[in-house]
Amino acid sequence: MYLFSKKIKCSSCGKNFKGIKERNKEKYICSSYSNYGKCIRQVIEQNRIVYLVANHLEIDKVKTGVGTSGSKMTLRTKVEDYDQITLEQVMNSVKQINIDPINKTIEILYNDNTRTFVSDDQIYF
Ligand SMILES: [Zn+2]
C-alpha cells in the first residue's frame, strides 16, 4: 500500500514520485525517471518517510502535552515502535512531500502547517 501517492513531488523536474516495489518493499521514485529515463534515479523507502512523519507526530504530541514523559522525545529507529501512531494518522497528517534528488533533501509539509526538513546524511537513498 502506497501511503503517499500523489503527495511526493520531485524538486528537480516538478513531477510526482510514484510507488514501486523493490525487494518486497514499498518505495518511491521520480516518475520522469521511471517512465522516460529522464531526471535522476532517486529511490526512497516508504518506511523512511513513515519514520520521519511518526517522529514528527510523536514530538508534536509531547509539545502539546499529550505525551506523558520526556522520554517520548527519543528518536526511534523502527516503524513498529510507534504503537500509538497509526499509519492512517501518518498518511492523513501529510500535505505534501518535496524531494530534491540533487541536494538530497526531503521536506515534509503537514496539514497543520508544520514541516520536517532533513538532508543527505540522514537519508538512505
Ligand atoms: Zn524528477
Q: How far is the CA of 33 from the centre of ligand 1 (A)?
A: 6
- Do the domain assignments include residue 2? no
40-52 residue pLDDT tens? 998 999 999 999 9
- Do the domain assignments include residue 21? yes
Number of domains in the chain: 1
Q: Is the pLDDT of residue 115 over 80?
A: yes
- Do the domain assignments include residue 3? no
pTM above 0.75, yes or no: yes
Report residues near ion ligand 1: CB below 5 Å: 10, 12-13, 30, 32, 39
Q: How far is the CA of 109 from the centre of ligand 1 (A)?
A: 19
Give residue 100's domain range: 8-122
7-32 residue pLDDT tens? 999 999 999 999 999 999 999 999 99
Q: Which of 25, 37, 27 is nearest to 15 (CA)?
A: 37
Q: What is the mean pLDDT of the chain?
A: 84
* Dist. CA 10–CA 42, nearest whole Å: 10
- Do the domain assignments include residue 72? yes
**Residue entry with cell 506523558:** 68
Q: How far is the CA of 10 from the centre of ligand 1 (A)?
A: 5
